[in-house]
Amino acid sequence: MTPSAPAATAREILADGKGILAADESTGTMTKRLEAVGVESTEQTRRRFRELMFRTPDIERWLGGVILYDETIRQSTDDGVAMAEHLARRGIVPGIKVDGGAKPLALAPQEDEKVTEGLDGLRERFAEYRDLGARFAKWRAVIEVGDDIPSTAALEANAHAMARYAALAQEAGLTPIVEPEAIMDGTHSIDRSARVTEDMLRALFVQLAHQRVELEGLLVKTNMVVSGYRGQTQAGPDEVAERTVTVLRRTVPAAVAGVVFLSGGQTDEQATANLDAISRVDELPWTVSFSYARALQGEAMRIWAGKENNVGDAQDAFHRRTRLTAAANRGELAAAPSGS
């Protein structure tokens, strides 16, 4: 049977062990990151840094897709080529973030609970983004972790929104990435991380079934099961891999095209070491890969610091980190040379 367009695109993105660069930070998030390295955040500086990454030599060997922000997909490179077209010419599939961000969940007993908005007008926006060159999309849900949260209401509200988004994406011929992220910036144990991640993913797939989403044309982007970053006890890569895979096997159907991990608040080294350990687990039923933002581009941004004469060194740093992450995705991090 011929695969649908969303299924074919999902396979293309993750073919040959490739992963995804998440270059879809909102203007607010990019402003914080640029200002942290002494760069004023303007449309031009944001474009310059992203173009720096997109022009780095050889990244098409390790990146199958790039998630763009609304501002970026409407921009062009210095030589006048649309950003999405530039990526496509390199054999990298362009995608687009479409959610409207996490907002407070109405009537929630805990003020930290959020729900992601942005469904209004999404069918029309998908048509526009498709015309701009996007072939896949992403929607993120923020699930806060605490003693009494997440509530069932928060899990179900976010799962329902993600499922409706995914159905609309597939209707438009685009591959949806659903990104439920249990926030690990806390003192909680890895047991608590596992419980919340399992509940979160279980709720998601109930709603995806209700909305008749084709699993073969779906990518799941989610957190690894790690200890809360501020906890006294921190699990090592082997335990992270075992706990993460256990949760995924309990909740994610084998028909799903792929599972891609976010880096969250992990350091570059933690994100690659944990991915490497997960990739070495035998007989995974899905393709496993990465969809990193800061863990791929953080060092490059620090080196660049807005200075044109630093572009080459920044690209070398981005090249190195992307290559090492791809090696981790094959379970071959130990054998990968660490130099540029």
User: Is residue 158 a contact partner of residue 115, using CB atoms and an 8 Å limit?
Assistant: yes
User: Is residue 164 a contact partner of residue 116, using CB atoms and an 8 Å limit?
Assistant: no
Amino acid at residue number 325? T
Amino acid at residue number 6? P
Which residues participate in catalysis according to the annotation?
221
DSSP assignments along 226-269, one per residue: ---TT-SS---HHHHHHHHHHHHHHHS-TTSSEEEE--TT--HH
Distances (CA, A) of 240 to 189, 244, 252, 271, 276: 12, 6, 17, 11, 11
Task: Determine the Cα–Cα distance for residues 234 and 245; give it in Å rounded to an integer.
Answer: 18
Q: Which helix (H) or strand (E) holds 48?
A: helix 43-54
Task: Determine the Cα–Cα distance for residues 336 and 333; give it in Å rounded to an integer.
Answer: 5
User: Is residue 52 a contact partner of residue 34, using CB atoms and an 8 Å limit?
Assistant: no
Q: Which helix (H) or strand (E) holds 63?
A: strand 63-68
β-strand partners of 210: none
Which pair of tokens denotes residue 98?
Answer: 């479409």
